[in-house]
Each structure stands twice: as structure tokens, then as C-alpha cells.
């Protein structure tokens, strides 16, 4: 069984996911947003209590609220950051971004260790996550799709009844809409999308109800 654990972390109420195969214990951390020490503890306690083996640290994109915990995960588990290279520029001014919100980074960001490209496959036990590149919210936004379970981890690309904002550095509204229509709305309608903030949704619901996609 594919086990999906959702955590809501940091001042931006970001969703961090631990996705694991219950037979092998292999797991991926998607968007390590843990900011406070108790959030870091919550993440590591879940991993240790369930005897999980962290295989990947996957980023849907590299905005600061999805990256606060990357260095903690690296220090704790020795796992480098996997992300799309088009978002690497966001790491360079992350501390400046944090100061704009009146907060400090809990630790300096870590560089990308493994560059993602469209179609890359990440194996977690008997399950696979496929990388789908959907730029527009950020240039390197990635959706991770598990065909076997028909679930997708979309970061800030697609929300229930909405889409990711495109007014940040590197954002592009037309690019985002095109990517969602061509790469996500073509997935099975019963595909569950786990978003980077707020509740999840399904492809079928968004095809029929999302005002941005009509």
C-alpha cells in the first residue's frame, strides 16, 4: 500500500508529504517545509516511529515555504535535494525573500544535488513517481504522478478551484494554464491531487469546476 502522510508546516501553512511503501519502508519527503524545531521533530518522529527509510528529498519547486526544512533533512538523513534546475536561482536570494516576510531562514538553503527533467522516475518500493514539468508558478515547478495509485503531488501548480499565483519571479500565467491543460487535465479524472497548500482535489473536479480552466 502507498501511504501518504500530510503535515501542515511553517507560517505559510505549507503541506509537506511523506510518501512511503508500507512493505519496504522506503519513502520520499516531498517539500520539506518544516520551519520550527517542533515541526522538525514531528517529521523525524513520524519517520522513526514508522521505521521508514528516506530515499528522496523531492521538491515540487523552490519557493522558500517549501524549502525551509531541506537542510534539516540533509543533515538528519544525508539525502540531497532533488529539484528542477530552472528553480536554482530561487536558492540564491532565499534569505532575502525571508527577510521581506519578516522571518529568518532556519538554516542556509542547500544546493540542488540531483537535477530533475521531464519524465524522470523515482521508485519507492513497488511504486513509482513520475516527474511532470509544469512551469508557470515557478520556472521549475514539478508535479509527481503515481500512475499505480492515481495520485499526484502538485505543489503550487493546481489548487482546489484555483491555480498557483504567477506574479512571483519567473512566473508566467499563460505557461501555467497551458501546462495544466496539456499535462494534468489529461490524467485520469479520478486522480487525486495533493496540493502545496489547502485541501486536495481531483482532476475531474478541476476540469468541471475550476474557473481558470474553463
Q: Is 176 left (phi over 0), alpha (psi -120 to 50) or beta?
A: alpha
Whether the Cβ atoms of residue 27 and residue 47 lie closer than 8 Å to each other: yes
Q: Transcribe 141-208 into DSSP letters.
A: -EEEEETTTTEEEEETSEETTEE----STT--HHHHHHHIIIIITTS-TT-EEEESBS--EEHHHHHH
What is the reported pTM?
Answer: 0.97
Give the pLDDT confidence score for residue 20 in this predicted structure.
98
Give the pLDDT confidence score for residue 91 in this predicted structure.
95
Give the pLDDT confidence score for residue 97 in this predicted structure.
86
Give the pLDDT confidence score for residue 167 in this predicted structure.
95
Give the pLDDT confidence score for residue 100 in this predicted structure.
85
Give the pLDDT confidence score for residue 197 in this predicted structure.
98
Give the pLDDT confidence score for residue 5 in this predicted structure.
98
Q: Give just the sign of the alpha carbon dihedral 21, 27, 32, 33.
A: positive
Per the listing, cell 505549507 goes with 14
Q: Give just the sign of the alpha carbon dihedral 180, 184, 189, 193.
A: negative
Which stretches of the chain score pLDDT less than 50? none
CA atoms within 13 A on the CB side of 129: 32
Amino acid at each position: 500500500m502507498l501511504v501518504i502522510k500530510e503535515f501542515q508546516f511553517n507560517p505559510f501553512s505549507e503541506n509537506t508529504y511523506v510518501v512511503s511503501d508500507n512493505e519496504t519502508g522506503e519513502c520520499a519527503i516531498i517539500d520539506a517545509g518544516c520551519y520550527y524545531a517542533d515541526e522538525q521533530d514531528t517529521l523525524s518522529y513520524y519517520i522513526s516511529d514508522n521505521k521508514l527509510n528516506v530515499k528522496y528529498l523531492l521538491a515540487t519547486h523552490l519557493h522558500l515555504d517549501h524549502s525551509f526544512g531541506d537542510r534539516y533533512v540533509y543533515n538528519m538523513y544525508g539525502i540531497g535535494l532533488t529539484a528542477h534546475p530552472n528553480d536554482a536561482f530561487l536558492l540564491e536570494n532565499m534569505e532575502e525573500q525571508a527577510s521581506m516576510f519578516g522571518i529568518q531562514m532556519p538554516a542556509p538553503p542547500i544546493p540542488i544535488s540531483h537535477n530533475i527533467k521531464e519524465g524522470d522516475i523515482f521508485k519507492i518500493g513497488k511504486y513509482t513517481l513520475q516527474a511532470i514539468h509544469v512551469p508557470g508558478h515557478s520556472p521549475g515547478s514539478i508535479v509527481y504522478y503515481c500512475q499505480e495509485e492515481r495520485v499526484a503531488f502538485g505543489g503550487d501548480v493546481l489548487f482546489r478551484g484555483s491555480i498557483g499565483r504567477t506574479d512571483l519571479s519567473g512566473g508566467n500565467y499563460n505557461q501555467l494554464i497551458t501546462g495544466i491543460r496539456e499535462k494534468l487535465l489529461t490524467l485520469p479524472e479520478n486522480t487525486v491531487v495533493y496540493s502545496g497548500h489547502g485541501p486536495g482535489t481531483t482532476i475531474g473536479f478541476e476540469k468541471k469546476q475550476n474557473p481558470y480552466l474553463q
